[in-house]
Amino acid sequence: MGEITTKLLVLGGGPGGYVAAIRAGQHGIDTVLVEENRLGGTCLNVGCIPSKALIHAAEAFHAAVLQAEDSSPFGLSAGPPSLDFSRTVAWKDGIVGRLNTGVASLLKRGGVKILRGRGAMVDGKTCLVETDTGPERVRAEHVVLATGSVPAALPHLPFGGRVISSTEALSLQKVPATMAVVGAGYIGLELGTAFAKLGATVTVVEMADRILPAYDSELTRPVSRRLGALGIEVLLGAKATGHAGDALTVEVNGELRKIPAEVILVAVGRRARTQDLGLDRLDLDMSGPFIRIDERCATSMRNVWAVGDVTGEPMLAHRAMAQGEMVADLVAGRRRAFHKVAIPAVCFTDPEVVSAGLSPEEARAAGHEIRTGLFPFAANGRAMTLGAEDGFVRVTARADNHLLLGIQAVGAGVSELAAGFGLALEMGARLEDVAGTIHAHPTLGEAFHEANLRALGEALHI
């Protein structure tokens, strides 16, 4: 058995892990990164990146279909489109491959040693890694646990065969004729909408009484309208109870119904990946199924840190990256703490949804008296030129000093506004700060400007 001694061991090569390793390498810290599968973790390989590639391809195909049907709002027309899904998948895989190579190059540039294999902690300083060339024992002064998460399964719909998770959905070799999606959260709706645009007949089954339960109904209403326009049936207050043949059995309104489903996508959330990694050998305080951490991502064990999905919600790649960067700085001796005012969340549905900070309801629940301002894209020139007028930007601020507390938007392409929203909140902007900033015309960002003006009672274009 080989043995390696290092300053920093990172267990897991997803967004939190590889960023921690890259930043540690930049600090000149001797670092070993252990990854069982491909670098980049769920996000790069079977999550964020491939799903967005599929969503974009689906939107392009759907636009071509509308042209063939002479339904394009721009007066475009063309012959019936055809889809070579194998080429779509190959294009998506090519993007993932390029990014994999990029991550590996960045790690190499930082002098990070990559151990490919399954790692399991022996104690708080030691990890045993099963590699292709035999076991390696890694001893480290500091350990970062960045083991991520896995799709959550349902007891009556275990993964296998036609019952798939988002991982398998992104590796399908053909577009299914029918698809049932169990779960109307962002993963289920993103993928369900994409496959509907690619030609599948899609039914969404959700136990709650509305879609995207983590977001308020004002934000999700345009998404509901779009699902109906795409022919996606949404069953709310419904429970998937099992499957037989090519059908999913659903209990809705006290009655059983069979939903045609060549493929059943179970998208009911994700759970922390803590099993079979030796974490049970460590004296870690837990917060339910997640590793408990403080504001520096420190666990209950000295010099053992944890970042990303394994530490709980929000399970977002950019949160993991920020945490990983911070931990590397701490190991390097810098003073840091994770006190983020806002971590923007984006649903790449149709239309897209962005939320940063508090919603109006959350702000009131926190005891604030508030002002709100909402500006619709129906009054935004750029949205009109895109043929995408459904949606709005909404701001929430304290009533007394006008400090921004939260910013939300729903509409085509609003994911690109997320950085501006987050920056405004982190900088402590007030309504007057955004209202006094010149926004380029014509852009969707003008809706952000106008929402702040409206909250001040000074809207110009509505």
Q: Is the peptide bond before 260 cis (omega within 30 degrees of 0)?
A: no
| CA atoms of 89 and 169, how far apart (whole Å) | 11
Region class of 187: left (phi > 0), else alpha (psi between -120 and 50), else beta:
alpha
Is residue 186 part of an annotated ligand binding site? Answer: yes
**H helices of 131-216, where?**
166-169, 186-197
Is residue 119 part of an annotated ligand binding site? Answer: yes
- The alpha carbon of 154 is separated from its chain's Cα centroid by a whole number of angstroms, namely 21
| CA atoms of 64 and 330, how far apart (whole Å) | 51
Is residue 407 part of an annotated ligand binding site? Answer: no
Is residue 188 part of an annotated ligand binding site? Answer: yes
Is residue 149 part of an annotated ligand binding site? Answer: yes
| CA atoms of 419 and 423, how far apart (whole Å) | 6
Is residue 108 part of an annotated ligand binding site? Answer: no
Is residue 185 part of an annotated ligand binding site? Answer: yes
Tokens encoding 427: 């900088």
User: Is 441 an annotated catalytic residue?
Assistant: yes
Is residue 293 part of an annotated ligand binding site? Answer: no
| CA atoms of 391 and 168, how far apart (whole Å) | 32
| CA atoms of 329 and 170, how far apart (whole Å) | 35
Is residue 383 part of an annotated ligand binding site? Answer: no
Catalytic member of 27, 339, 441, 461: 441
DSSP at 311: G
Is residue 391 part of an annotated ligand binding site? Answer: no
| CA atoms of 262 and 430, how far apart (whole Å) | 51
Query: Cβ atoms within 10 A of the Cβ of 294, count?
Result: 10
| CA atoms of 422 and 417, how far apart (whole Å) | 9
Is residue 318 part of an annotated ligand binding site? Answer: yes
Among residues 159, 152, 204, which one has the least CA distance to residue 178? 204
Is residue 220 part of an annotated ligand binding site? Answer: no
In the chain, the largest separation of any two C-alpha atoms, in whole Å, equals 72
| CA atoms of 182 and 203, how far apart (whole Å) | 9
Is residue 82 part of an annotated ligand binding site? Answer: no
Is residue 286 part of an annotated ligand binding site? Answer: no
Is residue 333 part of an annotated ligand binding site? Answer: no
Is residue 22 part of an annotated ligand binding site? Answer: no
Indicate which residues carry an active-site annotation. 441
Binding positions for FAD are 52, 119, 147-149, 309, 315-318
Binding positions for NAD(+) are 183-190, 206, 269
Binding positions are 52, 119, 147-149, 183-190, 206, 269, 309, 315-318
